[in-house]
Amino acid sequence: MAIDLLAAFENEPPVLDFIWPGFLAGTVGALVAPGATGKSFWALEAAMSVACGATVESRAVGGDLVGLAPAQAGRVIYLAGEDPEPALVGRIHAIGKHLGQQAREVIAENLTIETIMGKRLNVMDDRHLTRIIEFSGGARLIVLDTLSRIHSLDENSNGDMARLVATLEHVSASTGASVLYLHHVSKGSAREGHTDQQQAARGASALIDNARWCGFVAKMTEKEAEGLTDRAFDRRSIGTERRHFFVRFGVSKQNYATAQVDRWYMQQGGGVLLPVELLDAKEDCGKVKHRAQA
Give tens-digit pLDDT for 124-166.
999 999 999 999 999 999 999 999 999 999 999 999 999 999 9
Report the C-alpha gap between 85 and 82 in whole angstroms: 10
pLDDT(292) > 80:
no
> Is 46 in contact with 186 (CB distance < 8 Å)?
no
Q: Tell me what pLDDT residue 233 has.
A: 58
pTM here is 0.92
Within 193-280, residue ranges assigned H as helices are: 206-209, 222-227, 239-242
Report the C-alpha gap between 3 and 10 in whole angstroms: 13
In tens, the pLDDT along 179-237 reads 999 999 999 998 888 899 988 999 999 999 999 999 999 999 999 999 999 876 566 89
Domains in the chain: boundaries: 17-220+246-277
pLDDT(90) > 50:
yes
Report the C-alpha gap between 234 and 263 in whole angstroms: 22
Strands (E), 59-140: 76-80, 111-115
In tens, the pLDDT along 262-277 reads 999 999 999 999 999 9
In which band, very low, low, confident or very high, does the pLDDT at 54 lie, cut at 50, 70 and 90? low
Q: Tell me what pLDDT residue 71 has.
A: 83
pLDDT(50) > 60:
yes
SS3 168: helix
**214 CA to centre of own chain:** 9
Average pLDDT, the chain: 91
pLDDT(251) > 90:
yes
> Is 266 in contact with 246 (CB distance < 8 Å)?
yes
Average pLDDT on 17-23 reads 95
Give the percent of the chain with pLDDT over 90.
Answer: 84
Q: Tell me what pLDDT residue 162 has.
A: 98
Report the C-alpha gap between 237 and 258 in whole angstroms: 31
Enter the CATH code of domain 17-220+246-277: 3.40.50.300
Report the C-alpha gap between 146 and 31 in whole angstroms: 9
Report the C-alpha gap between 102 and 57 in whole angstroms: 10
